[in-house]
Amino acid sequence: MSDLTAFLSDRIFDGETWHEGAALIASGGSVEGIVGATGIPAGARTVRLEGGFVAPGFVDLQVNGGGGVMLNDRQDLETIRTITAAHMPFGTTALLATLITERPEVTRRAVEAGAAAVKEQVPGFLGLHLEGPHLSLARKGAHDPALIRAMDDADEALLLAAHRVVPHLLVTVAPESVTGERIARLAADGIVVSLGHSDTDYRSAAAAAKAGASVVTHIFNAMSQIGNREPGLAGAALDIDSLHAGLIADGIHVDPATIAIALRAKKGPGRIFLVTDAMATIGTDMRSFTLNGRVIRRANGSLRLEDGTLAGADLDMISAVRFVHETIGLPLEEALRMASTYPAKAMGVSHRHGRLAKESHANFVHLSDGLAVQGVWIEGRQVFGSAA
């Protein structure tokens, strides 16, 4: 029996353009194309999605937790399943499970869990983001300073080995803790190297980008800022065309005016994309949790250590989309691209994610005109919504 399915919608956004009164054709977990309502193939099952519109599923490259769990707390297959499932109702169809600065043995367990998730083809799991421990103490944020250190040969070997079993791997490093030669070797192997938690100057950031770093982690947060005589890492992220940059768009981590300025400034091939930096709280009513033995409290839309330091974000992806569309004033199409097309390009997976075109994964969301998530599909299978 064929699984050829036509999803009919008043409007479909494919990541670039709108299609009115069209049908998304999917088969075998992939997109076959988008056709007019009269062009549906014979024998296709039809699913009518009433109201609103269809868009590519969201891609989140920084997800520390969700559903009450953190990858830092337990590194196993079930934790990854729980995290991915917690983010599906908010439109996320592919994510990088993120490990915050830890000891080498914990990193190894996270890699083993990631490899198991790849083998089991866990829905929504794209790969791993190892955020640290090779960062700057001066810009540690909520990372445990006792665990931050420079990268050595064993650390580099661990990352290269990890990439053999987790094909989509992103690592956040600071130029102060990782040499350009190491960055070059990691990038040449296909690991996506991101600069973050760094007090570096512009010149060193530019050298790291030339060596192969291609992303900046949560722009403006935990990094050297733009000054009149020194642009810092934030300035490098905006000025260097090859650098993509993640953004936590909750109105707490970055002021809306700063976001607007950054979006006007960043016009090169590398673009600003949305990340949630989500923690265990997503999809729950929990009020506190721990990270490396330290209590993090949830209040007023933010997550903070006892000293007030921001510790991740209490943010889901559809809320970030609403924020940049409604508060910042971005066109809807651009807000959607920031949650799908641009992170997929930053991760090098835009042939399969972040768009709805022939041979891409049939990962999509059905949103209301008010940007409420009505349904979510991963590889053509509904994972959230009334019929899921």
Would you say 186 and 212 are in contact if contact means Cβ atoms under 8 Å apart? yes
Please indicate, yes or no, whether residues 62 and 51 belong to a single structural domain of this protein: no
Give dist(CA 15, CA 336) in Å, integer. 8
Angle at 374 between CA 373 and CA 376, to 5 degrees: 80
Q: Which of 254, 224, 218, 253 is nearest to 236 (CA)?
A: 224
Give dist(CA 15, CA 58) in Å, integer. 11
Structure tokens at 242: 């090859």
**Half-sphere exposure of residue 30: CA atoms within 13 angstroms, side-chain side:** 8
Structure tokens at 318: 């559809």
Please indicate, yes or no, whether residues 108 and 33 belong to a single structural domain of this protein: no
Please, which residues have CB within 8 angstroms of residue 258's CB and are 6 or more apart in sequence?
A: 220
Give dist(CA 263, CA 354) in Å, integer. 20
Structure tokens at 178: 């990782």
C-alpha 287 chain-centroid distance: 24
The pLDDT value given to residue 387 = 62
Which residue range(s) make up the domain with 374?
A: 5-56+355-385
Q: Which CATH number fits the domain that encloses residue 32?
A: 2.30.40.10
Please name the residue that has the structure tokens 């337990």.
74
Structure tokens at 78: 């079930």
DSSP output for 96-130: EEEEES--HHHHHHHHHHHHHHHHHT-TTEEEEEE
H/E segment holding residue 194 = strand 192-195
The pLDDT value given to residue 337 = 98
Rg from Cα positions in the chain: 20
Distances (CA, A) of 233 to 49, 133, 148, 173, 215: 44, 18, 19, 12, 11
Please indicate, yes or no, whether residues 127 and 30 belong to a single structural domain of this protein: no
Please indicate, yes or no, whether residues 373 and 238 belong to a single structural domain of this protein: no
DSSP 8-state code for residue 278: B
Please indicate, yes or no, whether residues 311 and 359 belong to a single structural domain of this protein: no
- The answer to whether residue 189 is catalytic is no
Please indicate, yes or no, whether residues 13 and 124 belong to a single structural domain of this protein: no
Report how far apart the first and last C-alpha atoms of the chain are (Å, whole number). Answer: 21
Structure tokens at 283: 């999809």
Give dist(CA 115, CA 187) in Å, integer. 20
Q: Which CATH number fits the domain that encloses residue 250?
A: 3.20.20.140
Please indicate, yes or no, whether residues 45 and 191 belong to a single structural domain of this protein: no
Structure tokens at 168: 């989509």
C-alpha 264 chain-centroid distance: 21
Give dist(CA 110, CA 112) in Å, integer. 5
Please indicate, yes or no, whether residues 149 and 37 belong to a single structural domain of this protein: no
Please indicate, yes or no, whether residues 39 and 67 belong to a single structural domain of this protein: no
Structure tokens at 238: 């905006």
In a structure prediction context, what are the per-residue pLDDT tens digits for the chain, which is 388 residues long? Answer: 469 999 999 999 999 999 999 999 999 999 999 999 889 999 999 999 999 999 999 999 999 999 999 999 999 999 999 999 999 999 999 999 999 999 999 999 999 999 999 999 999 999 999 999 999 999 999 999 999 999 999 999 999 999 999 999 999 999 999 999 999 999 999 999 999 999 999 999 999 999 999 999 999 999 999 999 999 999 999 999 999 999 999 999 999 999 999 999 998 899 999 999 999 999 999 999 988 888 999 999 999 999 999 999 999 999 999 999 999 999 999 999 999 999 999 999 999 999 999 999 999 999 999 999 999 999 999 999 986 5
The total of structural domains in the chain comes to 2
Beta pairing class for 92-100 and 5-13 = unpaired
Would you say 217 and 238 are in contact if contact means Cβ atoms under 8 Å apart? no
Give dist(CA 315, CA 385) in Å, integer. 20
Give dist(CA 27, CA 22) in Å, integer. 17
Please indicate, yes or no, whether residues 172 and 133 belong to a single structural domain of this protein: yes
Please indicate, yes or no, whether residues 95 and 24 belong to a single structural domain of this protein: no
Give dist(CA 337, CA 83) in Å, integer. 23
Which residue in the list 14, 144, 199, 277 is annotated as catalytic? Answer: 277
Please name the residue that has the structure tokens 């508060």.
327
Please indicate, yes or no, whether residues 80 and 52 belong to a single structural domain of this protein: no
